[in-house]
Amino acid sequence: MRILLAEDDPLLGDGLRAGLGQLGFHVDWVRDGEAAERELRAEPYAAAVLDIGLPRRDGLAVLAAVRQAGLTVPVLVLTARDAVPDRIRGLDLGADDYVVKPVDLHELGARLRALIRRAHGQPGEHLRNGTIELDPAGRRVTQDGEEVSLSPREFDLLHALMLHAGRVLSREQLEQHLYSWGREVDSNVVEVHIHHLRRKLGTPLIATIRGVGYLIRREDAA
C-alpha cells in the first residue's frame, strides 16, 4: 500500500521510509506541512503518517485542513512522549491513531495496517474472499488452505483488489497503489501482473471491465 510520510527529521524520516518499505509499504516522504497537505489533496494514499512538529505548517493545521476538505484518508499522528494535549487535539481534529516517539517500527506498521483495514470495512486481521485468504502482515496468500507463491508486486496488486472487492479499479489507480514517487512504470505492468495472478489463482478471479479497469467480485469465504 502507498502511504505518505510527513517528517522533517532527516534521520528519522529516512529510517521510517526504509523500514516501512521493508514491511511492504510504498512510502512518499515529505519534510514540511505545506508539502504534506498538497500531496494529501492530490494523491489517493492508503494512509498518512503525520508528525505534529512540521515546518512551514504544523501537522495539526494540516490535519484540520484535509478534514475540512472532506478527505477521509486514515491519518496516524507522531507525537512526543509528553505531548498529551497535542494527542488529544489531534484526535479531536480527525486523527485516526497516534504513535509516540521514539517510534517502534513494527508497532507503526501494525497500526497502519489496522487503519487501512478499517477504512475499507475489513474488521479482521486477514482479508478473505471466497477460498482466498490474504495476510497483510505476513505477506502470505492461501487458496483452499494451500499457500500460493506470489511476487511482491503480485501480492500488492491482489491486496489492493481485495481491499476494494466489488469496486472497479482503473489501471492508473492500481499503479498508484503499487508505486511511490520516482519509479518508472512500464505501460503494461498492471496487465502483466493481472495475467500472472489469473494463472496462479484461477482465471475467473479477476474480472476485466472493458474500458474501465479490473475488479474482484465479493464472495463469502468458503
- The CATH number that domain 127-216 falls under is 1.10.10.10
Q: Are 142 and 133 contacting, i.e. CB atoms less than 8 angstroms apart?
A: yes
H/E segment holding residue 190: helix 189-201
- The CATH number that domain 2-119 falls under is 3.40.50.2300
CB atoms within 10 A of CB 187: 8
Tell me what pLDDT residue 121 has. Answer: 84
> Side chain identity at 198, as an amino acid letter?
R
Could you read off the pLDDT tens digit of each residue along the chain, which spans 222 residues? Answer: 899 999 999 999 999 999 999 999 999 999 999 999 999 999 889 999 999 999 999 999 999 999 999 999 999 999 886 778 888 888 999 999 999 888 999 999 999 999 999 998 887 789 999 899 999 989 999 999 999 999 998 999 999 999 988 999 998 888 887 776 555 556 688 899 999 999 999 878 899 998 899 999 887 654
Which residue, among 16, 45, 46, 47, has the nearest Cα to 31 in the 3D structure? Answer: 16
Q: Is pTM beyond 0.85 here?
A: no
Tell me what pLDDT residue 175 has. Answer: 84
Domain ranges of the chain: 2-119, 127-216
